[in-house]
Chains A and B, each alone.
Chain A
Amino acid sequence: MNEEIIIAGFGGQGVLSMGKILAYSGVMQDMEVSWMPSYGPEMRGGTANVTVILSDSRISSPILKKYDTAIILNQQSMDKFEKSIKPGGLLLYDGNGITRHPERTDINICRVDAAEEASKMNSSKTFNMIVLGAYLKLRPIVTMDNVMEGLKKSLPERHHHLLPLNRDAIVRGTEIVKSVHEVSAS
């Protein structure tokens, strides 16, 4: 197993921490992982992205040009990364704020309206966990138990009372994700 993921959106959407939780979950499941953020001035309110790789074997380049999965959370990232998905790969996106929907036909496209759902749950902070849930539904590469372990590791102790809320958000994400386009398995 080797899954190469880019998560991209605005700074403040929890892009980096979502990647971190995924990476920690991989560690809990005894995988090799790497987490490589874009860093620097671009992070001030601008776009943020992180490359996460989960693998059974040693990971080579932590920076990539083509990905198995792109999780896209704003229009800028859609413009930048839609074309970087390997044929047959997965594009998961939040429709909120997207003005040009994905157009490729050689990849699987799924949509999760996480921003909307988060506001329904009255907690904008759960946004990234809803997205994570949606992703895990489509690519169940780590178990829920290990995700919760990963969450525990990446959340400071004083925030551990939020674990159940995050769990609910992940579960919600698995429920509301919907397929927009599927590549026929030929």
Chain B
Amino acid sequence: MKGNEAIAEAAIRCGVDGYFGYPITPQSEIMETLMLLRPWETTGMVVLQAESEIASINMVYGGAGCGKKVMTTSSSPGVSLMQEGLTYLAGAELPCVVVNVVRGGPGLGTIQPAQSDYFQSTKGGGHGDYNLIVLAPSSVQEMADFVELAFDLAFKYRNPAMILTDGMIGQMMEKVEMKPFKPRWTNEEIEQLSPWSTTGKSAARERNIITSVELDPLAFETFNKKLQAKYRKMEQEEVRFETFECDDAEYLLVAYGSSARICQKSVQLLRAKGIKAGLLRPITLFPFPTKQIAELAGQVKGILSVELSAGQMVEDVRLAVNGKVKVEHYGRMGGMVHSPEEVVEALEKKIIGG
């Protein structure tokens, strides 16, 4: 199964209530797969092609306000259009899932894989002080699994969650084990689970208002503090990562998603050459595995952050390492993908030799 198809299939299986999207390469297969599978006839999931990404994210905003599990998917230019909607969702503390199958930018750019939306995804993206929960799958299996995980986290924290991937994982086919079907929440369950949602005011409760406006600055500062406390809690409790050959590593690669797959091979090539290299793969990009990288910085001689970008995550790696060892960036841009050999060469040149 292809990565993009896995997302569609997993969404139906984990009881998603609604999908709203607009075609854009390289992720159009997600909506196309949903339209072929016709989940409205089986689970009752709504699938709608919107007139734009601005409309998609605002449809999500509406659905999320009702306490429903709603999602949209797009690629970089479309996700840029969604930024206004996302800051409203974060400001109104609403859960939803957005998938960004990143392509090379800036501008209309290229449809080939890239990781150049890291800043936009992990640092908020729209205006105001907020963060998205960001998950970075590196296999087709994780594309499927992270749909449910993203919804779990989004509802746990009442915050939008993003799956940040690219055309390489989206177009790739691998073996996937799908989880069994879960029923969608009933409206009664939603009233229990999400008492804040706009389900229609019953006599038993006050009216619910979904909003992000607050005219009193002091009150709004208090609200902002509450948001920040939520993000700090995520940093304490939700960091996910994977290490590969790190136990005796003298050199460390840090890479996520598609780049982590490539780097895994680079580690094998380096080890075959007698260089003790390891790989740390952040699975959550927000919250970032700062502590784990800091610990490894005490063990290794140098770190290479490898991304399909001009160097974005490397800033977070440097913050984590805090000057303890040398940290450099390596990566191709604009839709070009580095080979495992190029990474080996970069480590030798920039870290071991340099």
Contacts and interface: CB of A to CB of B under 8 A. Distances in A.
If over half of B's interface residues share one DSSP class (helix, strand or loop), that class is named, otherwise mixed; here it is helix
Contacts of B174: 32-35, 59, 62
Interface residues of A, number: 20
Contacts of A63: 168, 261-262, 337, 339
A37 to B, nearest CB: 6
Contacts of B190: none
Contacts of B265: 60-61, 64
B43 interface: no
Contacts of A61: 261-266, 339-340
Given A60-B264, A62-B168, A64-B339, A27 B175 contact: yes
Chain B CB count within 10 A is highest, among A33, A35, A39, A64, for A39
Interface string A34-48: 111101110000000
Contacts of B339: 61, 63-65
Contacts of A60: 261-262, 264-265, 268, 340
Contacts of B263: 61
A158 to B, nearest CB: 15
A62 B172 contact: yes
Interface in B165-199: 167-168, 171-175
B111 interface: yes
A23 B173 CA distance: 9
B52 interface: no
Nearest to A50: B173
A154 to B, nearest CB: 10
A20 interface: yes
A34 B173 contact: yes
A171 B131 CA distance: 58
A62 B26 contact: no
Contacts of B262: 60-61, 63
Interface string B304-346: 0000000000000000000000000000000001011110000
Contacts of A37: 171
B116 to A, nearest CB: 17
Contacts of B173: 20, 23, 33-36
A41 B112 CA distance: 10
Nearest to A20: B173
B49 interface: no
Given A33-B174, A36-B168, A40-B112, A62 B25 contact: no
B307 to A, nearest CB: 15
Contacts of A35: 172-174
A39 B263 CA distance: 22
B26 A40 contact: yes
Contacts of A66: 341
B173 to A, nearest CB: 4
Interface string A1-40: 0000000000000000000100100010000111111011
Given A62-B172, A65-B341, 18 more contacts: A23-B173, A32-B174, A32-B175, A33-B174, A36-B173, A39-B111, A39-B167, A40-B110, A40-B112, A60-B264, A60-B340, A61-B261, A61-B263, A61-B266, A62-B168, A63-B339, A64-B339, A65-B340
19 contacts: A20-B173, A32-B174, A33-B173, A33-B175, A34-B172, A34-B173, A36-B171, A36-B173, A40-B26, A40-B110, A60-B264, A60-B268, A60-B340, A61-B339, A61-B340, A63-B168, A63-B261, A65-B339, A66-B341
